[in-house]
Amino acid sequence: MLAAPLVARAEAAARLIRPQADAIERNRRLPPEAVAALVDAGIFKLLVPARYGGAETTVATAVAAIEAIARADGSAGWCAMIGSTSALMSAFLPESTARAIYTPPAVITGGVFAPLGRATRTDTGYRVTGRWPFCSGCQHTDWVMGSALVDTGDPSKPELRSLLFRRDQVELHDTWDTSGLRGTGSHDFSVRDLEVPHEHSLSLFAAPTIDAPLYRQPFFGTLAAGVAAVALGIARNALDALAELAAHKTPGGARKTIAHRELVQLQFARGEAELQAARAGLFAAVDAAAAEVATHGHASLRTRALLRAAACHAATASARTVDLAYEAGGASSIYSSSPLQRCFRDVHVATQHVMVAPASAILAGRVLLGLDGDTTTL
């Protein structure tokens, strides 16, 4: 179920962000005005518990809001996705810590789940060293999370903990120079021998500290749906751009615009149909997971697999839609002034995310076929 007012606020923020798309890509980060628009729209509070001042809305609403932002600009949509989904940490932290971090209305968190750090236990928490890539939005976050393997004394059984660092405690490394989603500022960050109190750590595999349906839904399924939402928004932007181009572009020697060309009509129809079908499938899977959690308290393995399959399909279908629009635009698509070339680059970066990559779809397929597999992050 969608909370229409929250989606409307996201759409309003998107209208403010759209004119900044060129600057976002050029500067490889969101400008303060774009960040403020996302904060004012409550994007980073969508999945934060109500007791900490969040919306505690549905996953479907968050997906729709992220999609709306990504339709205006892929990089802004990606930062919206990372900031909103990472805020689910608030429901897994000790209540006093979560309240202190997440109650401020403008707080933004981000981070990297991959356990690329190493940690040892201390009397009060952990001593952590590590370097994590792909920390989207790290230049405008207040807190960043990095996961680490904690030495337990048994090398075969390290403990995985996710640890929260203040941004002023980490070193940022300017590494994000990519083909697409350039404005996400997804640089590396690192810490060295940093003392982290135990209350600033969590496990996303443990039971949430807040027992509410939203936080019993599969965390990684929600993340995958968010990634897919960005791809859907980028694809919708590509179709918007193609429609605008087709209405005005008249090739040399022609009397009519390219909208009258059958190939363009065919490409547009195929893209529209594929995008709508993939979007419907994703929302159906998200709603099915939410309904099962509400009824049974958890999502079954099959439901989790169906959600991941839908997210993977939505991402790849979005890329195919963008490809169709890019091809239909002809030579106009290749100019840096064309939104189509940015959509092309952005969507093909988004689909590389591990949550929607082929390996994730393969895992979903294994589960649906009744085969064994590591379903920890499904």
The position carrying tokens 């969608």 is 2
The CATH code for residues 4-102 is: 1.10.540.10
Angle between helices 74-86 and 339-350 (to 10 degrees): 30
The CATH code for residues 217-368 is: 1.20.140.10
Walk along the chain (378 residues) and give the pLDDT tens digit of each residue.
Answer: 788 999 999 999 999 999 999 999 999 999 999 999 999 999 999 999 999 999 999 999 999 999 999 999 999 999 999 999 999 999 999 999 999 999 999 999 999 999 999 999 999 999 999 999 999 999 999 999 999 999 999 988 999 999 999 999 999 999 999 999 999 999 999 999 999 999 999 999 999 999 999 999 999 999 999 999 999 999 999 999 999 999 999 988 788 999 999 999 999 999 999 999 999 999 999 999 999 999 999 999 999 999 999 999 999 999 999 999 999 999 999 999 999 999 999 999 999 999 999 999 999 999 999 999 999 999
Report the alpha-carbon distance of residue 165 to residue 192 in Å, rounded: 12
In this structure, are residues 226 and 66 in contact, taking their beta carbons and an 8 Å threshold? yes
Q: Whose CA is closest to 262, among 276, 248, 246? A: 246
Alpha helices in the chain (DSSP H): 4-17, 21-27, 32-40, 59-72, 74-86, 95-102, 213-216, 219-248, 262-296, 301-328, 339-350, 358-368
* DSSP code per residue over 143-163: EEEEEEEEP-S-TTSPEEEEE
109-202, what's its fold?
Butyryl-CoA Dehydrogenase, subunit A; domain 2 (2.40.110)
- Every domain of the chain and the residues it spans: 4-102, 109-202, 217-368
